[in-house]
Amino acid sequence: VTTAFQKVGSAMTFLYDYGDEWRFRVELIGTGQAQPDANYPRRA
């Protein structure tokens, strides 16, 4: 179920380690069927 990213192009910025404030952005760039022999997560 996809609830965090409703549509392609949706993005979020995450904050990791409040002391060092590492920030990273995650964006949904596409959807598709999982391939049974593929390793996940995969890079675009």
List, for residues 1-44, the tens digit of each pLDDT value. Answer: 557 888 999 999 999 998 999 999 999 988 888 889 988 887 76
Is it true that the peptide bond before 41 is cis, omega within 30 degrees of 0? Answer: yes
Q: Are 42 and 19 in contact (CB under 8 A)?
A: no
What are the residue boundaries of the structural domains of the chain, listed by start? Answer: 1-30
Torsion angles phi and psi, residue 4, rounded to 5: -75, -40
Task: Tell me if the pTM is above 0.85.
Answer: no
CA distance 21 to 15: 6
Q: Are 8 and 27 in contact (CB under 8 A)?
A: no
- Quick one: pLDDT at residue 24? 95
| Structure-block tokens of residue 27 | 């964006």
